[in-house]
Structure 1
Amino acid sequence: MKIHREGKQSIILGFIVFSSVNFMLFFLLPVYPFLILLIISSLLLCGLILFFRVPERKHVKNPFSIISPADGRVLKIKEVYENEYFKKPKTRISIFMSVTDVHLNRIPVDGKIVFVQYHPGRYLLAFHPKSSELNEHNTIVVETDRGHQILVRQIAGGLARRVRCFVNENEQYRQGDEMGFIKFGSRADVFIPDEYKVSVVKNQKVKAGVSVLAVLKEE
């Protein structure tokens, strides 16, 4: 397991705060209360480090499948009107990422990035129905060599305060490549082309780069 570069600044800051606070408490508190607070703060620091973990995985490589861009739980599968890029109804798979999930996002298909747009916004809870429109988010569209376009939306949640995108327009990427990172609880929406059949169900746990969200229908 590795620690992602996005966590470097947060972990260093957390370690400085951890060390400073516990150094002061060592002189201010009796032994047992100090030890209790030391254990609690140590667990919090470990949790912060684990948040930025990048577990070793064998990523799925399948040109006929859309792979999950995020770890988490399938919150909802619904046909909605996508009003930013497609401007028509599309099947949307929403994936909720809790603070215990891996928050590194990955490219769902081999293809070319044809659209990237960042939107500043609010920080509603990730499962709020309006969070995809009102919260800070990135919209990323990948086009396969068959011309199918998959839209992924990285959405900041109630705790998330930074949405990072690692890809650029007009560049080619492989399925499973790093796409971005969202800090501290968030959501990813995936808009599926009509040529694909959804292969997950509500409340199913998925893993980025591993779980198949949809497969290409037989022609």
Structure 2
Amino acid sequence: MKLHKEGTKILVITTILTILLSAGFYFGLASISIWLFAILELALIIFVVLIFRFFRVPKRSCPNEEGVIYAPADGKVVVIEDVEENEHLKEKRTQVSIFMSPLNVHVNYYPIAGEVSYTKYHPGKFLVAWHPKSSTENERSTVGFKTKSGVEIIMRQIAGAVARRIITYSNVGEYFSGGDQFGFIKFGSRIDIFLPTDAEILVNLEDKTVGSETPIARLK
């Protein structure tokens, strides 16, 4: 399993600090209390493993079945509802939202093949990602694209109370396949995807998703 390029700086700093802290624990505590030393070392190891695990990039293969929308991220479905998409399309859409905990893979994937038609970054608040207003008030990045059949879809990366950096690779005019990476959000977040209201939704609330592999909708 690979590590994501967005974690390079953090992982280097984490490794250096871990070595320094481990040495400090050894020279400062090992001779005083071997149990306290062992507990602190174990806590340090667990922390480092979690940081490295956060930036993992598992090998995925998107089925790319025609007309099927796959999950853009790992996580849990927290919203399925009809809403007004007021940023770009200005029309009613079915919103499906996936919440990513810090334990989930945080790579973001294109859910179907197409061409990028719109991108915009919005600064904002850092409400918890499942808060109803996080979709419109939090720091976020919106990507719009057209499928090969001409259907336009909107995706929105949303920062949360912990997530403080959104990375989006999309550029207007570029073509992509389902399963290609389009971004990364650091340390807990959410993705909203706005689908045509006549799309057949294939997931339910609380369902767990696997990015680029779980079908979440089928276009008419």
Q: 1:197 and 1:187 mapped to 2: Cα distance?
A: 22
Distance 1:60 1:192 in 2: 19
- Whole-angstrom CA distance in 2 between matches of 1:167 and 1:3: 20
Mapping 1:158-197, distance limit 5 Å? 158-197=161-200
1:75 and 1:107 map into 2 onto residues whose CA distance is: 19
Distance 1:194 1:77 in 2: 11
The whole-number CA distance in structure 2 between the counterparts of 1:208 and 1:46 is 22
Counterpart contact for 1:123–1:136, Cα < 8 Å: yes
Aligned pair partner of 2:86 in 68, 83, 87: 83
Deviation, structure 1 residue 195: 4.4
Match of 2:110 in 1: 107
Give yes or no for contact 2:18–2:44 (8 Å, CA) kept in 1: yes
Partner amino acid, structure 1, of 2:57: V
Is residue 7 from structure 1 mapped to residue 10 from structure 2 by the alignment? no
**How many pairs align?**
217
Q: Percent of aligned positions with the same letter in both sequences?
A: 39
Q: Using the alignment, how far apart are the partners of 2:219 and 2:136 within structure 1?
A: 28
- SS of 2:102's equivalent in the other structure is coil
Cα offset, 1:188, TM superposition: 0.3
TM (norm. structure 2) is 0.95
Can you give the 5+ residue segments of structure 1 that lack an aligned partner in the other structure? none
- Secondary structure at the residue paired with 1:9? helix
Equivalents in 2 of 1:161, 1:14: separation in Å? 18
- Gaps of at least 5 residues in structure 2 are none
Please report the TM-score for the alignment, with normalisation by the length of structure 1.
Answer: 0.96
Q: Does 1:130 align with 2:125?
A: no
User: d(CA) in 1 for partners of 2:47 and 2:143?
Assistant: 33
Shift of 1:194: 3.2
